[in-house]
Amino acid sequence: ATLWRGAIGDVDAEVATARASWASWAAQPLAYRIEALRRVANVVRARADAFADLIARETGKPLWEARTEVETVIAKVDISVTAYAERTPQR
């Protein structure tokens, strides 16, 4: 399964791009950022088998463990959103 289609880039340049983008990301409304994370989780969910297969092949983990790892990534979005809501007063 192909999980990445793109040129392999310069890591320093990619990190610089991410850092430069941080302020605009942080300025987005919370609802927008939560929705973006949920969309990412949905993409991971839709490609869970491919991700699990890749993890298993790259790490030598059994497939059941790789699947658990993928499910953990998906669940982390809701866990993080809930934790944020619990510790942050509504603005």
Amino acid symbol at 45: R
pTM, two decimal places: 0.76
As a whole number of angstroms, the distance between CA 56 and CA 63 comes to: 6
pLDDT per residue as tens digits for the range 24-42: 999 999 999 999 999 999 9
Residue among 36, 49, 48 nearest 77 (CA): 36
Q: Answer for the pair 44, 70: CB distance below 8 angstroms, yes or no.
A: yes
User: What phi, psi does 53 have (nearest 5°)?
Assistant: -60, -45
> Where in the chain are the domains?
29-87
Q: If DSSP codes are grouped into helix, strand and coil, which group holds residue 22?
A: helix
At 51, is the pLDDT very low, low, confident or very high (cuts 50, 70, 90)? very high
